[in-house]
Amino acid sequence: MTSVIFMGTPDFSVPVLKGLVKHGYVVKAVVTQPDKRVGRKQKITKTPAKLAAEKLNLPVFQPAKLSGSKELDNLIAMHADLIVTAAYGQFLPTKFLKSVKIAAVNVHGSLLPKYRGGAPVQYSLLNDDAETGITIMEMVKKMDAGDIYAQKALKIEPDDTTGSLFTKLAILGRDLLLETLPKIIDGSVRKIPQDPDKVVFSPNISKKQEKITLSMTATEANNLIRALNPDPGAYLMVDGKRLKVWKAKVSKDQTKLEAGSLVSNKNRFAISFANHTILDLLELQPAGKKRMTVKNFLNGQGSKFKPEEKIIDD
C-alpha cells in the first residue's frame, strides 16, 4: 500500500484527494491552508480540502506557515512514500520534499513551462488561449520548475470562466495523476525537463488588474470578466461607483462612439470599447447589491442612462 501526504486547498484539489483514496492510496495526512473569515459577517470558513478530508476521516494539518512549524516535523516523521500537491498555496521546504521515499508530485493547472505561478487558469483566459491543460510534475524548490511526468491539453470554450475551467481541470488532473502515479512508483516514467526559453509566469491577480479599462477592446474586457469569475470579479466604474460584471458577450457590431459610451439600453446594455468594439453586459452587480440580470438592471439603476452618453469612468 502506497502512503501519501496530500496537500491542497481549493475546490480544484478535492477530486484529486478523493481519487487517491478511492484508488487505494493510504493518505496519512491532508495539509491545507488555515480556515479564513469570509463575507460581511466574517464567518470562519473551512477550506474545501479540509471539508473533504473530514468526510473521509483523514487527519488535517493547517499550519499558517509550513516552514519551521511543528506540523512540518510531524509530516517528515511520517516517512510517506509520496507527497501529492494540488493548489496548496505555500512553498514546501527542501527537507520535506526529500523526506519521502519515492517522489513529491504536483498537479498543476497549465501546460508547463507556460504559466508557472499562482494564477495559470486566469492567465490562459486573459491571453485568449485556445487551450489549457494539466501537468503532472516533480516538485523542486524553485516554483513549478520540476521535470514533467505527464501532460494533457484541454480546449478552452468561448463561454469558459476560471470557475468552469477549474472544474474541468480538477477532473482531468485527477485522472492524469492516477494514470501516471503507478509509472512513477515503479520507475518506468520518463521525465522531461522544462525548456527554460519557453517559461511564462502567471503571478496572482492584483487588485489593479480587477478594473476593466477603456483602453481594452471588447474581447480583452470580456476575457478579464471570464478570468475573474467567480473570484474576485471584474468591475467598471460608473458614476464613481463599482459595477461588477459577471457575464458579457462581445458584439459583432461596431460603433463610432467614444469608448465608455452607452451604445444601447433597449433590451440590452451595450458599452463601446477600444477599436470601435462593443460589449454586451449580461450579468451585473451594482455596489451593495446582489447579482442581477441585465433586464433587472435596466429596470432599476440602468434606466437613468441614455444612449450615446459616456457613462464609464476610466
Check if the beta carbon of residue 113 is closer than 8 Å to that of residue 194: yes
pLDDT, one tens digit for every residue, the chain (314 residues): 899 999 999 999 999 999 999 999 999 999 999 998 877 778 899 999 999 999 999 999 999 999 999 999 999 999 999 999 999 999 999 999 999 999 999 999 999 999 999 999 999 999 999 999 999 999 998 999 999 999 999 999 999 999 999 999 999 999 999 999 999 999 999 999 999 999 999 999 999 999 999 999 999 999 999 999 999 999 999 988 999 999 999 999 999 999 999 999 888 999 999 999 999 999 999 999 999 999 999 999 889 999 999 999 88
286 cis-preceded (ω within 30 degrees of 0):
no
CA gyration radius, the chain: 22
Residue 130, SS3 per DSSP = coil
Domain spans in the chain, listed from the N-terminal domain onward = 3-198, 207-310
Count of C-beta atoms within a 10 Å radius of residue 176: 21
H or E element at residue 137? strand 131-138
Number of residues that this document lists for the chain: 314
3-198: CATH class: alpha beta
Give the CATH superfamily of 207-310: Formyl transferase, C-terminal domain (3.10.25.10)
CA distance 243 to 240: 9
pLDDT in tens, 80-106: 999 999 999 999 999 999 999 999 999
Annotated binding site: 110-113
Alpha helices, DSSP H only, in 216-306? 218-227, 294-299
pTM tops 0.75, yes or no: yes
Annotated binding site for (6S)-5,6,7,8-tetrahydrofolate: 110-113
Q: Strand 262-264 to strand 270-272: parallel, antiparallel, or no bridges (unpaired)?
A: antiparallel
* Residue type present at position 215: S
